[in-house]
Structure 1
Amino acid sequence: MTDARPVGEELDPTTDAVLIAEAEPDVPVAADLRTSGQRILELDDIHVYYGNIHALKGVTLHVDRGEIVTLIGSNGAGKSTTLKTISGTLKPRQGAIRLDGQDIHHRPAHEIVGLRLSQAPEGRRVFSRMSVFENLQMGAFARKGAKLDDDIARVYELFPRLLERRTQKAGTLSGGEQQMLAIGRALMAQPTVLLLDEPSMGLSPILTEQIFSIIGDINRQGTTILLVEQNALMALKLASRGYVLQTGRIILADTATALANDPQVRQAYLGEI
């Protein structure tokens, strides 16, 4: 297993990434992680700051076409910051991001959506005064003039509850329904890469199982997924590979199975003592 921890350093799920700014070591990648798959998304030495606070400190990762890859870590580790940087709502001070071979780190967010990368953000952020149907239409804003009927039908097939609620104001939906809508809206951009930020947040265990099952369906239909999820156990069950982010650094990178069996990962993120 790839392990970039200095000798004696323990995984700390309570440390806030934005309060610690130490120099980080390079993270070697295990030989079995150098897959022959086509890399569709690559982050190379990404550094992001909030003012003087060094939030991401040399993040390097990749996602191959067709994969589900998860990024796990404690609150404040930099997971959402990583996704925001990929999608263009934050700009790195250093490093490169490539989508299907194209540099995208200097592009505005709306152009990145047009390149078929979209995000379902943390907290859902639906347009509360718009109907379900109107929210889905907004997800296709980058596809001017496109016929949307087939795409909306696909979303309704994945989320039948949205079909039932299609005329209802999004702000009146339940938390689970809003999460379905956030994912459905992201799918309206016809993404080849979908970023999911905490899709189980605030959901019951039953709804979490349903959402994760649908995420698996979306992946099997051909969409590559980078998943940020506080429920590390669920994320590692779904993903093929994973990265552990701590204090803005990737400290572990391995297969999902290997990470799920790592004693310190189990203690820090899977609730085991």
Structure 2
Amino acid sequence: MKVIQYLAMDIISALILGIIQGLTEFLPISSSGHLILGRVFFGLGSDGLIGSGAQDLAFDAVLHLATVLAIGIYFWRDIRALARTAFSFLIGKTVETEQKHLLGAIILGTIPAIIFGLLLEEYMESIFRNPLLVSVTLAAGALLFFVAEKVATQRANITTKKGIGIGLFQCLALIPGMSRSGSTISGGLILGLKREAAARFSFLLGFPILIGAGAKKVLELSTTELAPGMASALFAGFTSAFFVGLCAIYFLMKYLKKHTLNIFILYRLILAIIVFGIVLSDPYILGSA
């Protein structure tokens, strides 16, 4: 009976973590920051089937694959067009200038994240894994969004130079609480893109990064043993992350056609204040981070 209860709790935890990942990976509110807060304040992923060694690694890999699939399905036309452009370019065929610029922007924009990710990812995660610092980075992200909205001209088209610039903004996502989508959308706005175009480029730019991160985790997972019953929790997490992520992408793309980032600025500031207040009232929370 206890085994069944623990398994049910693990599946529920997996569903909740999948929902958090699906929402926060794509909305500009930070998936890593929310997962840290979920672990510290609610114990999600802190122990049991989801949260120790191989189980953590397996769950991370599954969530990454779910988010990759969500982007791949929503933007499949763009990805197919980019693949054709790349193939045509390799065999010497003439390609459309717009598609060539977009492909070049994605390739060059991915390079900074790869370099800084390999050098700093573990260091950043170890430093910024406590809720107090997450509250600071949530507020810092809100400030970045505010600046982006203030200077946005929404007139420019994507170029390879702008792709590199947005790629540098993507490196901010190494800091838990900053948000990859939020940083790149803000970067796009600062460099003159329309909101919807900035969001579209943000997702396409993140696609190869998420594929690489997911592949790395799957390779690491190949040498580990999973606990009995883990498959059910993995399936639950994958399913919830995929469907919620797909809905989050759809919502954000529609929302940014007519609205600013202000709602996300407000959300991040409110959450930062709440987390900061909780930590100040109970400093022992920092010891559990």
Q: Normalization by structure 2: what TM-score?
A: 0.24
User: Which of the two has greater strand per residue?
Assistant: 1
Q: Which structure has greater helix proportion?
A: 2
Higher Rg of the two aligned structures = 2
Higher RCO (Cα < 8 Å, 6 or more apart): 2
TM-score by length of 1: 0.25
